[in-house]
Chain A
Amino acid sequence: MKLFRISGGVHPHDRKGLTATLAIEDVPLPPLLHIPLQQHIGSPAAPLVHRGQLVRKGQLLAHSQGMISAPVHAPTSGRIVGIGNYPAHHPSGLSVRTITLKPDGKERWCDLETVTVDAGMLDPEEIATRVAAAGIVGLGGATFPSSVKLNLRNRYKLHMLVINGAECEPYLTCDDRLMQESAEHIIDGARIMARALGVENIVIGIENNKPRAQAAMQQAARMYDTIRIARLPARYPMGSEKHLVQTLTGRETPARGLTADIGIVVHNVATALAVHTAIRHGTPLISRVVTVSGNAVRRPGNLRVPIGTTVAYLLDYCGGFTEVPARLISGGPMMGQPLPDTRVPIVKGSNGILALTASEVHSGPAMPCIRCASCVTACPCGLVPLEMANHARAGDLDGAVRFGLMDCISCGSCAYVCPAHIPLVQYFNYAKGELTARQRTEHKQKETRRLAELRNERLERQKQAKRAALSQRKQTGEQSAATAEAAEA
């Protein structure tokens, strides 16, 4: 199919060879599972179980709260040994509410509801409800609740579902392996999602560095003429949904808008597979495929991991380190976040654990900007990273916003090409965080003013009520005095 060029982007060495030929392995059950209540964007789930309770595999542990949230299920059967704070899968090293489960090794399932009718016959509402109940979130790493995205048909005029199999981050091969090993199921999941969205056209975008995955998906999709496989040029960040859509359709998503604004919804291949298992087998999202890679890992691999398994356990399973890694990263090397601790659990959004040696880490002391404009050429969003970073460094966030800070997708292409090793994307992450924090303060101030006004109103009301009561008492007092006088007379 015809593809369109996007501006910018980089060509990092993909290093996928470490794990690309390794089939997905099931990891044996770890001794303990730590299942965080917040593994998605939105409000955290509320626990339904108590300490000491026996749960079955797939049982609901915590239900979703609010419009944008996702429930959490038991990855295996066992006993709940605690609900408390545990280090989160997050660069901050902060703790988050977590349910700790001790597996009993029996893998007893709870009752599951299966659906066998063709995807075209399912009710869209029901699909979205089941996907929500299965706790499925965007498995490409964004962890946005998928059911919310499946319900976009109510608010937008949609015409296309794009399945994102670009996997443009170096090292990661989990989506590649999934497409090779479960192509049929992914196609089924994609058809179910298209049904939920009310669209006919499905495009599956796969980069050219994954010819086997392209072939497998082509084979699986041959029966359906509404499904097309797009062979994308390998270029980072092809997997960014806005850039993927632009490559496929030539249309640009409006600034700070959604791809739904131009009628397209993008879901990851792993999400499509999760939707298939949730609808066909009734199985909630309780495991995911993670690529463990990097030269510091003795035996890299693609592993199917129960949610809640600790990173330390996974690394041990992979034979441990060959040397002390220079950097331990969750996700890909371009956009991944450093992990402060290996005790943290694998969550729904973790697609990779990378232990990189010093020779693999692209870093050096930051030097002055020579205004070579490499970052301007590399920026896939058409921004001017050097100016944005200058403003952010000087504390002039409004200036950074004027240069397009809010349109930055933090892909890291600018920092990757910078010959002076300026941590450009780090400046943008800081600036975005600081802006959000300021918005939060302003919001709090507004709320404070509202509360103070409400209080003043209440005090005024109370004062008036008191005054009214007093005057009434005076009146009734006078009246009774008058009647008493009359009675005397």
Chain B
Amino acid sequence: MIIALASLTTLGLTLGWLLGLAARHFKVEGSPLQKEVEALFPGSQCGQCGYPGCSAAAAAVVTGEAPVTLCAPGGRALAESLARKLGFNVDLSGVADKPPMYAHVREALCVGCTKCFKRCPTDAIIGGPKQIHAVLMDACTGCEQCFHVCPTECIEMRPVQPTLQSWYWPMPASAV
């Protein structure tokens, strides 16, 4: 009886000690998958997907609550890399790529209130108080944050026009 008690106690203590060590040394903060997925997102926290930021969106995608196609600025490229990361096949050929947009400031209406450039997640808007603002097209992600806060509705969202560098042949009409 004493032998049984002693052996069980030692067993319990040793295993408990091992578990304690493991908990300390192999500790994982949050889900690692979520972190990896989050790294794929643009990180501009624009909120277009309906989630409060990119990490919340990543969490939703990992739990399967949201589809991989949720991120508008990421577009089809992001949807594809998300699907690859999460290991499932999605048919994205049907997903119409939303044409990339950029914000344009109509100078005649801009009063220089600075509201838009405080909001811009990528600092794509330049200007100062009571100065006409302008958008750096290359840095603009088309997230529409500025579009919604402008008090004079001077920002318009325009589709990004193809240039000689970005244009390419469409898929030939196939008969087969």
Contacts and interface: CB of A to CB of B under 8 A. Distances in A.
A442 B77 contact: yes
Q: What size tier do the contact residues of chain A reach?
A: 35 or more
Contacts of B141: 444, 448
Interface in A34-59: 38
B176 A94 contact: no
A435 B31 CA distance: 32
Given A395-B93, A445-B73, A451-B122, A427 B44 contact: no
Contacts, number: 95
Interface stretch (B21-29, B146-154, B163-171): B163-171
Nearest to A444: B141
Interface in A450-489: 451-455, 458
Given A365-B175, A366-B174, A449 B42 contact: yes
A441 B77 contact: yes
Q: What size tier do the contact residues of chain B reach?
A: 20 to 34
Given A38-B164, A94-B162, A448 B176 contact: no
B156 to A, nearest CB: 21
A454 B123 contact: yes
A393 interface: yes
A436 B163 CA distance: 13
A417 to B, nearest CB: 17
Given A92-B164, A366-B174, A368-B176, A452 B121 contact: yes
B109 interface: no
Given A445-B42, A445-B74, A96 B164 contact: yes
A367 interface: yes
Interface string B81-115: 00000000000110000000000000000000000
B174 A393 contact: yes
Please provide the 8 A-B residue pairs with the shortest distance between their CB atoms, ordered closest to farther: A433-B168, A451-B122, A449-B43, A426-B172, A423-B172, A366-B175, A92-B167, A441-B77
Interface of B: 41-45, 73-78, 92-93, 121-124, 138-139, 141, 162-164, 166-172, 174-176
Given A366-B172, A366-B176, A436-B168, 14 more contacts: A94-B164, A94-B167, A393-B171, A395-B92, A433-B167, A441-B75, A442-B77, A447-B139, A449-B44, A451-B122, A451-B123, A452-B44, A454-B123, A458-B123
18 contacts: A88-B164, A90-B167, A92-B167, A94-B162, A96-B164, A369-B176, A395-B93, A433-B168, A433-B169, A442-B77, A448-B42, A448-B43, A448-B141, A449-B43, A451-B44, A452-B45, A452-B122, A458-B123
